[in-house]
Chains A and B, each alone.
Chain A
Amino acid sequence: MGRGGSVNPSPLLKVTDLSKYFGGVRAVHRVNFDLREGELLGFIGPNGSGKTTIVNLITGFVKPSAGNVVYKGREVTALAPHKRVLLGMARTFQMVKPFYQLPAFKNMIIPLYSSRLKKMVGGKYGDRDAMALDLLEEVGFERDARVAYKPASVLPQGYLKRLELAKAIALQPDLFILDELFSGLSLAEVASILPIIEKLRLEGKAIIMIEHRLKELFRIADRVIVLNYGEKIADGKPGEVMGSDAVKKAYLGSE
């Protein structure tokens, strides 16, 4: 999969004038941005600034009021969400809702059932289990401790978030959209996830991260977009963005 560093003139994802209005509320208003292959783009902004709505608009879970989304040169604005996944776009959810009564690795079966992977995984009874266990080991489910066999209901949040990430990795997408992957995690847990993201970057995957943990995000992000009241107020390298007055105003209140 290593396509990292290849120079592609057209961006992987192009978002133009994307808007979403819920009644009179401007959840997202005329947001434009491009994403290159292999780029890590962070979205930050105060609560309710439209970050998750943008994820929902890109992945198709919510239909935009206006604007369009072009992925891999293809207009996907009206495409059903599962078809976008088949094009190579996978997201994680902010609120992880695994199948609690099932062993963790059984949670991986559904993404492995995807027709995106049908060629690789056979259709026989239970034969996705081995692949599920391998994938979970990659994200740090210790095989020796048989963590993957434990029901999801007893796993701590750090494992559940990694399970969520593994479900996205299983789909082998070219674009990851991680919605507040670090929220609710301890520093140690965040530190255990960062290497997984670094590895995805080395494989040349493009990543969009919605994040409240600015310190960790700024360490890995190539570019950061700041949202406030559904509008883009800054776009640039992490250092530049934090220096801008608009951002200080949005985060710290007006002075």
Chain B
Amino acid sequence: MENAELNPKSLKKRRKERIDRGIKIRSNDIFAVCSWREMLYLSCPRLIPTVGILLLPLVLGVYWQKVYLSVAVFALLAISWDILAQTGMISLGQALFFGIGAYLSGIANHYWGISPFFTLPFATLFGGLICTLVLLPVLRLRGIYFSMVTLIIPLMLVRVIEATRIFGGTEGLSGMTSLPSKWLELYLISAALLGALFGFRRLMDSDYGLVLKGIRDNDRSVINAGINIYLFKAQALFLASSVGAFAGAFMTHVYMFVGMPVFALDYSILPIAAAVVGGPGTLAGATLGAFILVPLSEILRGIGGLRIVFYGLFLVIFIVALPEGIFHYIQRKYHHFERWVEVDQ
């Protein structure tokens, strides 16, 4: 930064300066309304994804619009996974949240004919509640023990449905009402994604989020602050499972079908891959990961049998080359942006 060059005309030195430095010093990272350039610098990280997500449905073809729905759903599942991970709960069972939400809205719509506008919030809320109650007894488990239980429960539920033939058994329930228009579908999920992304990012940055992250890093220290960590873990679980349940309920109305595949391992594993590739601990990384992995999987469809091999190879390369995650890498580079400034001699 100190390789200043002399400008003989004005007797002024030019040197490079990081754009974020001045902003941070003046405002402790809160506001910078001093120049259009700084405002742009601060607003870009929020503006670009927002505008991007809102414009994407307009420019995509019919096929890719369907892919986009899937991308957004996996992004929501990845966000849901990341919220839990930031609270120290490594879940291998996002399919549980997804499946419970999918079945709840499916049942409400199929048996009682309730409109999607009511089944969606119903499934979000009660799906979150059911998942939280189911996992409540295992909140005391840490690390891999918690993960194992979350992995097993959705697999068990599949067998329960198969064996007891409830809710259509292996056939599933079909003939669900879809949302009235394609555009409503696209913009409902876009709004949900933006809301979840920015809402939960803000939540995790708040003092409340700090307590959640504290439970992950050093739970004894949080207990020692007189805080009931199980209460906070349960709250995080409710938030995360509600997000997952919404994604499931939404997909039920898109496919107009709900069946055993909603508990499939894909819904558990792909969100983790997305969060890891994108960069865990930021929610934005998880979203970014879903926006890369799901379309990639679609593009690779063309090459047939070796698809999974290429997909796996891509995952390995990314994790080895950028173990911090794409988002963290971009964020770091963005903070390092420099501009030329003139300094007095």
Residue ranges of A at the interface with B (Cβ–Cβ < 8 Å): 59, 61, 80-83, 85-86, 90-91, 93, 97, 99, 102, 106, 109-116, 123, 125-126, 128, 167, 171
Contacts and interface: CB of A to CB of B under 8 A. Distances in A.
B223 A109 contact: no
Contacts of A102: 210
B24 to A, nearest CB: 10
B207 A85 contact: no
Nearest to A116: B226
A122 to B, nearest CB: 10
Contacts of A90: 224
Contacts of A110: 210-211, 214, 221-222, 225, 227
B133 to A, nearest CB: 21
Contact of B226 (A82, A97, A123): A82
9 contacts: A81-B223, A81-B224, A85-B224, A93-B220, A106-B210, A109-B211, A113-B227, A115-B226, A115-B227
A82 B229 CA distance: 9
Interface in B208-237: 208, 210-211, 213-214, 217-218, 220-229
A113 B220 contact: no
Given A59-B224, A81-B223, 19 more contacts: A61-B223, A80-B228, A82-B229, A85-B223, A90-B224, A91-B224, A93-B224, A99-B213, A99-B218, A110-B210, A111-B225, A111-B226, A113-B207, A113-B225, A114-B225, A123-B207, A128-B207, A167-B224, A167-B225
Contacts of B207: 109, 112-113, 123, 125-126, 128
B218 A86 contact: no
Most-contacted residue by chain B among A91, A113, A125 (CB, 10 A)? A113
Contacts, number: 71
B297 interface: no
A97 B218 contact: yes
Interface string B182-225: 00000000000000000000100011101101100110111111
Nearest to B210: A109
Contact of A113 (B211, B217, B224): B211
A180 to B, nearest CB: 15
Contact of A171 (B202, B213, B225, B229): B225
A193 B206 CA distance: 31
A83 B224 CA distance: 9
A25 B228 CA distance: 31
B227 A82 contact: yes
Interface residues of B, number: 20
Nearest to A81: B223
Contacts of A126: 206-207
B208 A82 contact: no
Contacts of A86: 226
Contacts of B202: 125
A99 B209 CA distance: 13
A113 B228 CA distance: 11
A85 B206 contact: no
Interface string B224-262: 111111000000000000000000000000000000000
Nearest to B213: A99
A140 B268 CA distance: 48
A203 to B, nearest CB: 19
Nearest to A170: B225
A24 B223 CA distance: 29
A167 B225 CA distance: 8
Contacts of A85: 223-226
Most-contacted residue by chain B among A86, A110, A111 (CB, 10 A)? A110
A167 B221 CA distance: 9
Contacts of B220: 61, 93
Most-contacted residue by chain B among A61, A91, A114 (CB, 10 A)? A114
Nearest to B206: A125
Contacts of A106: 210
A93 B219 CA distance: 12
Contacts of B218: 97, 99
Contacts of B226: 82-83, 85-86, 111, 114-116, 171
Nearest to A149: B28
B278 to A, nearest CB: 19
A82 B228 contact: yes
A47 B217 CA distance: 28
Contacts of B224: 59, 81-82, 85, 90-91, 93, 111, 167
A110 to B, nearest CB: 5
Contacts of A81: 223-224
Contacts of A61: 220, 223
A116 B206 CA distance: 19
Nearest to B203: A125
Nearest to A87: B226
A59 B226 CA distance: 11
Contacts of B223: 61, 81-82, 85
A115 B207 CA distance: 13
A126 B210 CA distance: 10
Contacts of B208: 113
Nearest to A60: B223
A102 B214 CA distance: 11
A217 B202 CA distance: 46
B229 A99 contact: no
A111 B218 CA distance: 13
A152 to B, nearest CB: 11
Contacts of B229: 82
